[in-house]
Structure 1
Amino acid sequence: MAKKILQDVLPPENKSIRNIPLSRKRRGGGTHTSTEDIIVLDSRKPLKKNIEPAHDNYFSPSQKTQGKFPHKSVWITGVLCLLVVGFVFSFLFVSAEVEITTKTQTVDIKAPLVAKKSPESLDLGFQTVTLSKVLGKTVEAKDEEQIDKKASGRIVIFNKNSKTTQRLITGTRFQTSSGLIYKIDSAVIVPGYSTKAGEIVAGSITATVTAEKAGTDYNIPLSDFTIPGFKGDPKFTNIFARSDTPMQGGFSGKVKKITSSTLSKTEDELKAQLKDQLIIEVKSQIPDNFILYPNATFFTFESAPQTDTKDTSVTVNQKGTISGIILDENVLNRELASNTKLSSKEGEVYVSNLSDLEFVLPPNVALPISGDKDIPFILKGQAHFVWIFDQEQIKKNLVGKSKKELGSVISSYPAIASAKANITPFWNMSFPSKTSKISFKVTTQ
């Protein structure tokens, strides 16, 4: 029988330790071995560590890399595309904010000015504002007294009778359709009528009337009046009157009585409160771009009828009226610039602290000023003049230009002291192509 030769090299499929045959015979406690059936391993020699893997789980290095990152190139391409799109959109949505510091100058002024009742187009004019309010305060009162007070108000008397004037003496009676009689407080002369485009325009004059008797019955709303003394004469229908204000203040009856000192003190308190409240309320009604100076206001006060609240108290009422002169800020700025002889070559200016200046009337002028008279006054104080620049024109000059050109553009505007541009995104070095994308943040020196 030919002897089997032990092979030193086994094919890959036979190198596994699982392919080493074991003895099939076991007798007693001994072990029979045969070189024909058993491969003897020398324990003195270590097993080789570079055993190749079995074919069923073997991959080459290139195959392993491809399996771990199969889409790496796709991700890189996507990121690059996003960067390109973001870069393009950043230019489409570019914006700029220009921080501009305007030129200023503080001047100690004492400007004599005149506000005209009927100004021309470039003159400084004035308007008047008026506001009334009633306040009351309850005080202790134990005594009573009889009060009889007649209502009064204003009427407008019209003359459509002739072109000649009509004189009405003090006490001339005017009657409502319900028979209530009111008398004029002083004599008046009613102008005659005029004609315009063939139509009669009645002459008119305003007069104050007082009720014939005391009592609340004579407190009436706006009404029409005739003159009973002209009854049976054409003047009865051609000379007449209409209310300019309601008739108010009529009262007759007993009222709670307080001491004169308490009344005087209470009225003074109410006047002070009325002043504070009327100033606040009238300022809220001033049109935009107009200013009201404290010294251009004046107050009138009158006692309003008292009202009982309890058996031992009474409410003292006080009516206050504020009237004021308001001035156009734009025209006032121009007048002050002209008065201080500031250079017009550097552009228009305005006074940023107009309200801080003091309005002063000459000693021979007092409010209220009656009629159609002009009002001379002085404005004095530290005026902070600020130069004005054309924002829209600067935007047009900056459109599409390099950020480096900001200085050359601004240099042609003497009203601007300095400027700094902030462009978004930060890497963009040019201004937007549209003026709507450019904004300004304006400060003063």
Structure 2
Amino acid sequence: MKKISITRKDLVPRIVEKILESEDNEIVLSIPRDSEIKKSLYNFELIRREAEVAGKTVSISSLDAEVIELANKAGIVAGSRSEENVESNLMSDIIPLKRAKEEKRETVKHHVPKPPRKTEENEEIEEALKLGKSFWEKAEKESETKKQFIKKIDEFPPQEEPVKKTRWHFGGKKIAVSVIALLLLILGVGWIFGAFWGKAEISLSFKKTPWQYSGKITASKTISQVDADKGYLPAEVFSQPKNVTRLFPASGVAQVSQKATAKILIYNAYSSSKQTFVATTRFAAPDGKIFRLDNAIVVPGAGIKDGKIIPSSIEASVTADKAGAEYNVGPFNKLSVPGFKGTPRYDGFYGVMSRQASGGFVGSKKVATEQDLSSGKEKTSQGLKDALQGVFLNDLSPGFNILGVASSTSITKLVANKSTDAEGNFSVFGEALFRAIGFRDEDVKSLVRTLMLKDYPDMDFAELKLDYQNIKPDFVSGQLTFSLVADGVLKPKFSADDLKAKIAGKPLGEARTTIIILSDLTNAKISLWPFWLSELPKDESKINIIWN
């Protein structure tokens, strides 16, 4: 149990601070007569409440009956101080005549004046000094106490020999005046320094409340806004196609007879009417080599402008009439159509091979095995999936959430060309479509916050963790359903800016009172720099509030 002495001028914030700084859990407050706190019962109730929050037991000792009465009404155990000290002091004033004369003679002999008897006010000042309050800190806040304190100092005579008494007393007053003037100067400089460079840091801790939610959520492209009651979220459907051709080395060797292939443009410079060419239609190179159409094709009609024909064209695939490397020829500016020879169409329809024909071969060469083809298709398919997903995620707008199974890549085409090139490589052509259903993270948080505010309208999230389960996408309808589990920690709504506006420029005690009454506050600390400041800076930018 620890006894804490309270001065008359101590206000509730200072008393609470002394209680919180004490390491003991049982505290006795010694309160003098005419204490400032007895002006209101609420002061005692506030002391009791803050002590209970800190887990401490407080009782009050006082000679002031009114203090005891208010403490009891506030639920604090209170009683009168022991009268032993008072009786002892009274008894010490009764001295036998003989002993008094001896003490008087001894005093005259040694010229050592007896210090004045300690009063309750002296004890209060000494207690304040023991608690670490400097003279000028107390003087700055309590001008009346300052005057009394100086008076008490003057009442203490110096403990010197008689011959030095007069000189010491005169010199002591000069020193005291000089010290006071110096301290006043230091105090003035300190005030100016604090006014311009002073700053405050306030640390606040609030009570935290756990909160949980679990429910089914539907996100759809047909929903336009968040509906917390129904568990609806707006969704967006993403779609992106991609194709690729990849080369793979062939591992087999075989005797082959392979025809060259090429791409040509077939021109219609004859009329505005379209012309159909059947599969295997011949096109002759200038050296007489024949290439045949792989598939039937329709050449669109030519354009007519100012009576002049503007040729039209269409691309087509052709294959050499015979196998062998000798058909790896081209390019050619004009391939004729032997079937039109001797007619007006012969000059009006022709082909152009802009790149050399390739692939013609007869002999032993590398060929793709079934295993080669299967492996090539699998690698092409996986490469398409990885490429599509990577490109999509890089291009995805910030704030969108695509859950794991809410995306899909489907292979729409996969063709392997068994023919190998001069290096012995075969090719695989693949085509794929990527689809995904996503929603905005902020929409989910808005839904969860709306649900939380129904139960805790004056709270906000300090922490929030979201878990998505049972995810089921429907890419056809553009809808996504899932189970949402929200696990959060709530804190009271608090505005640091509002608090700064209330306490800027206020005395430390008033600022403490403003902070103590904050809702769900569990701990608070105010640090002022420089340390001698007695009020907070008027400039709000010099007040730093840290809270959680």
Larger RCO (CA within 8 A; separation ≥ 6)? 1
Structure showing the higher helix proportion among its residues = 2
Shorter-normalised TM range: 0.3 to 0.5
